Chain A
Amino acid sequence: MNAITDSKLSEFCSQFSPSNIQGLQTLQSDAAAYLSKEVFPTTRNERFKYTRLQKLLNANFSPIETLSYEQISKYSIIKDVPTICVNGPQIFIPQQLISSVTISSIAESTLAFQSETYKDVFGAMNTLYASNGCSITINDNTTLNQPIQIIYLHSGGAHFYRNQLKFGKNAEAQIVLAHFSISNSIGFSHTHTQIEVGQDARIKLHKIQCCEEGHFDFNEERIFQDKQSNFEINTISLKGSFIRNDLSAQIQGEYAETRLNGAYLLNAQQHVANYTTIDHQVPNCESFETYKGLIDDHATAVFNGKVFVRQDAQKTNAFQSNANILLSENGSVNSKPELEIYADDVKCSHGSTTGQLDENALFYLKARGLSTKAAKSLLLQAFMDDVLQVFQPEQLHTFIFKVIATRFNWQIED
C-alpha cells in the first residue's frame, strides 16, 4: 500500500486503525494512492480556502466514553420511532420493523459501496479508516409511515463513520440523521453517507447538526438518484464550533427531482462550511437548492455550491440560491455559487446575497409597538422561514425552534 508522504497528514492518520468493514476493502487501494499524493489541507487548497485546520491538528481529543442505549436515545428528537444509536464503536440497532425494511450495522451490511473520486483527504481517510455506522435498506414499493432516526452521540475521540441508505423502487421514507456531542468532550467525527434512491422513490432526509463546542463535525453525503425519483435533503447546523458538509448528488435517471435545503445559524466562534455539488448527468431533470444563514459574533460561514450540467443533460432546470445576513462586525461570509454547464438547452441560474435586516421593515414593526429585540427576531425568523419550514415532522420542527430560540434569544410563539 502506498505510504503517505506528507508528515502532517501521516501524523493525523496514525491515530486511526484500518477499517474492519469488509465491503470497503476493494476501494482502499485507490484511497491509499490518493492520500499518498496529498498533503494535509491548508488554505492554499481551493476546498479549504476559508477553513483553517490547525485547530484540528492541535486538538487533544478526550477519551471516548462507553454509553448505554438509554444515555444515547435520550437525545432522540422524535419519540417512539425506530432509532439507531451510535457512539464510537458502539451501535444499537432497533428491532426489525417490517420485513421490507432491513437495518443493520455497516459491518454486517451486504450492500455494495459505490466507488468514488475523492475531493479531499477526509473522504479517502474514511474509506481507509471507517469503523462504524449503519445500513438501512427499504425494499421496493414500501411506504414508511414514520421516520427512521439515526442518532450519533459523540463522546470524544476521533472516528470515521459510514452509513448506507438504499431505497428501492417506488419507496417512500423519511430519515432523520442527527449529530450530538457530550458537553466538554473534544472529538472529531467524519460521517460518510451513501444514499441510493431507486426509481420513482420519494425520499426525505433531515440532517440535524447539534454538537457542543469542541467537536469537529465533518459530513459527506453521496447521493445517487434513479429516474423519476424525488429526493430532498435538509441540512441544519444548529450548534457546533466546527462543521463541514460536503454533499454531492449524482442524478443518473431522467425526470428526477432533487431539492437541497440548508440553514445555518451561527454565533460565537462557529465555523460552518457547506460544499454542495449537483451533477446533472441525464436530460429532463430539475434541481432546487436554497441555503440561508445568519452570522453573528465571530462566526464564519462558507458556502460553495456547484451545479454541473453535462453535455447530455439537455432540458435541465437548475436553480440555486444562497442568502446571508451578517449581524456582526467580526463575522464573515464567503459565498461561491458555481455553474459549470456543457449543455445548451438548459435553464440554470444562481443568486447570492449578503446583507442585513431592512431598516424600513424594522421601523415598521417598532412603530407598531414591538421592541427592537422582538422586531429583529421576527424579521430573522421570516428570513429563515423557507429553509426552516422544510423540517416537517412536528417534533423535529419544535426541537429546532427551541434550540434556535435559546441560542439567539428569539421570541417564538408556539
Chain B
Amino acid sequence: MQTALVAVENLFLYNMSNYTENDLAKDLENQEYKFGFVTDIETETVPKGLNEEIIRLISTKKNEPEWLLTYRLKAFEIWKTMQEPEWAHVAYTKPDFQDIAYYAAPKQTKKYESWDDVDPELKETMSKLGISMEEQQRLTGVAVDFVMDSVSVATSFKAKLKELGIIFCSFSDAVQEYPELVQKYMGTVVPNTDNFYAALNSAVFTDGSFCYIPKGVRCPMELSTYFRINAGGTGQFERTLVVADEDAYVSYLEGCTAPQRDENQLHAAVVELIALKDAEIKYSTVQNWYPGDKNGKGGVFNFVTKRGLCEDRAKISWTQVETGSAVTWKYPSCILKGDHSIGEFYSVAVTNNMQQADTGTKMIHLGKNTKSTIISKGISAGKSQNSYRGLVQIHKGADNARNFSQCDSLLMTDVCGAHTFPYIECKNPSAKIEHEATTSKIGEDQLFYCMQRGISEEKAISLIVNGYCKEVLNQLPMEFAVEAQKLLAISLEGSVG
C-alpha cells in the first residue's frame, strides 16, 4: 500500500495528460545517454596490446610485490589457453584484445592531502556524475572511493573508518599497505582459472577497491565506489575485494558510468566478497555504462564476474539495477558454504534500443540449512534482448536447503525479446526449490482496473511499472536510492514519474 502511495505522489509532479504506453515506448527510444561526456584530463596510458611485457609494465608502474606479478602472469598463461564463452544469449563482435590499452591513469597520480587539492576538472566530472563529494560528505555521510580510468583518485571518511579498524582504500593501496590481507583472500572466490574474463582481469587489472571490516564491527556508513571509463580505447579492469570478518556488517555501493564513444569499450571486472562467520555483506550496484546509440553503435561490453562466499550463518545480498551497457554478461553469485548461510539476489535489468543483457545469479548450496532468494525483474524496450540466466544448485550435503526464485519479464514493444534460462539442480531429498517465471506486457485488465478508478492511463502505467520494480528498488539503501533515480536515466520509473 505504501509503495503505491509513493508512486502516486510522484506522478503528480508530471503533467502528461495523454501519455500512453506507446508514448512511453517512444520516450524510452529517444532518451539519450545523460552521462556521455568526456573529461579532458591528461591520462597516462601504456601502448595498446596484451603480452607479458605489458603485464610486467603495469605491475612495475604500480610497484607491486613479486607474488602479485606471478599471479598476473599465471592468469595470463591460463587466459591464453581459454576460449571466449559463447553460451550467452547475446550477439556482438568480439573485442580485439590486442587493440586495447590496458592501463590508463589520470596523470596527476600524487596523493591528495585534502579534498581541496583535487584537480577541479576531476571535481567537475564527479559533480556531473551527481556525486559531488562535498555534497556527499556533508549531506549523506557516504564514503566514496572514486575510480576513474583504473586509478582510485580520492577517498573520503578514511579517518573515521580507520578508528573502527575498517580498511577502505583503493586496491593498489591495499597491495602496498595490507599485502598479507590481499594475498590471503584475493582469488579465493574467483580463482584466476575461473573463466575467460576473470582470467583476463586477473592478468591485467589496474585498480579497484579493497574493503576489510574487522571482527564484530558494524560499518556505520555505506561504502561507495564509482567507476567511470574515460579515455578512449581503454578497458576497465577493476578488482574489488570485500572481506567482512566474523560478525561484521557492511553495505557496499557501486555505481558505473562511461562517456559516449563510437567504439565499444570493454569492461571486465572481478568482484569478490567474503563473509566470514556471522558476517553480512550487502552489495548494491547501479550500472549505467554507456549503452550505445539508438542503432547499437558503441557502448560498453560489461563482462563481469561477481561472486561471494558465505561461511556459517553469514549472509550476502546482491542488489543490482542494470540499465546501461551495450552487452551485459553478469551473474553475481553466492557460494553458501557455511551452515545456515543466506544468499539473496535482487535485480532490475532494463534494456532499450539495441541493448543485450544476459544476467542472473548462481546460488550454490553446500552447507546445511542454507537459504537463497532470487527476485529478478526484466524490462525490455526498443529492439533489445533481455535474458535471465540462473543456476540453483543443491549439493548432496546441503540438508534442508531452501530456494525461492521469481523471474518476471515485461515486454514494452513487439520487437524486443525476454528470455528465461534457469538451471535447477538438486541432489538432496530434503531440499525445497521453487522457481517461477512469467512474461507478459502490462496487463490490459490491470490498466482497465486503474483507469476505471479514475487514474489516467499514463499514471496507471507508471503505477504498475513502479509496483513491478519496487520489490527490488526497495532493497537499495536510502542514500543510494536518490542516486539511483538520477542514474536510471532510461529507467521506466524516471521516464514516467
Contacts and interface: CB of A to CB of B under 8 A. Distances in A.
Contact of A341 (B419, B430, B436): B419
Chain B interface main SS type: strand
Given A324-B426, A332-B425, A339 B433 contact: no
Contact of B432 (A311, A336, A341, A355): A355
Contacts of B396: 329
Interface stretch (B46-54, B139-147, B438-446): B438-446
A6 interface: no
A313 B487 CA distance: 35
Interface residues of B, number: 35
A63 interface: no
Interface string B416-442: 111111111111111111111111110
B414 interface: yes
Interface in A326-362: 326-329, 331-356
Contact of B428 (A314, A326, A341, A353): A326
B437 A344 contact: no
Nearest to B413: A344
A46 interface: yes
A336 B423 contact: yes
A350 B437 contact: yes
B441 A344 contact: yes
A332 B427 contact: yes
A168 B173 CA distance: 76
A343 B102 CA distance: 41
Nearest to B388: A339
Q: Indicate the size class of the contact surface on chain A.
A: 35 or more
Q: Which of A331, A338, A341, A351 has the most CB of B within 10 A?
A: A341
Contact of B417 (A50, A341, A352): A341
B415 interface: yes
Contacts, number: 117
Contact of B440 (A336, A346, A355): A346
Given A328-B429, A355-B432, A336 B422 contact: yes
Contact of B439 (A324, A348, A353): A348
Contacts of B422: 336-338, 352
B433 A355 contact: yes
Contacts of A347: 438-440
Contacts of B431: 326, 354-355
A346 B394 CA distance: 33
A356 B424 contact: no
A350 B436 CA distance: 6
Interface in A186-240: none
B420 A338 contact: yes
A352 B374 CA distance: 14
Interface string B385-426: 000000000101000000000000101111111111111111
A348 B420 CA distance: 11
A333 B431 CA distance: 11
A352 B419 CA distance: 16
B420 A345 contact: no
Contacts of B419: 338-341
B424 A354 contact: yes
B12 interface: no
Contact of B418 (A332, A341, A354): A341
Given A329-B396, A332-B425, A341-B418, A356 B430 contact: yes
17 contacts: A50-B425, A333-B424, A335-B424, A336-B421, A336-B423, A336-B424, A337-B435, A339-B418, A343-B411, A344-B411, A344-B412, A348-B439, A352-B422, A352-B433, A352-B436, A354-B424, A354-B433
**What 7 pairs between A and B have smallest CB-CB spacing?**
A344-B411, A335-B424, A339-B420, A354-B433, A352-B435, A349-B438, A351-B436
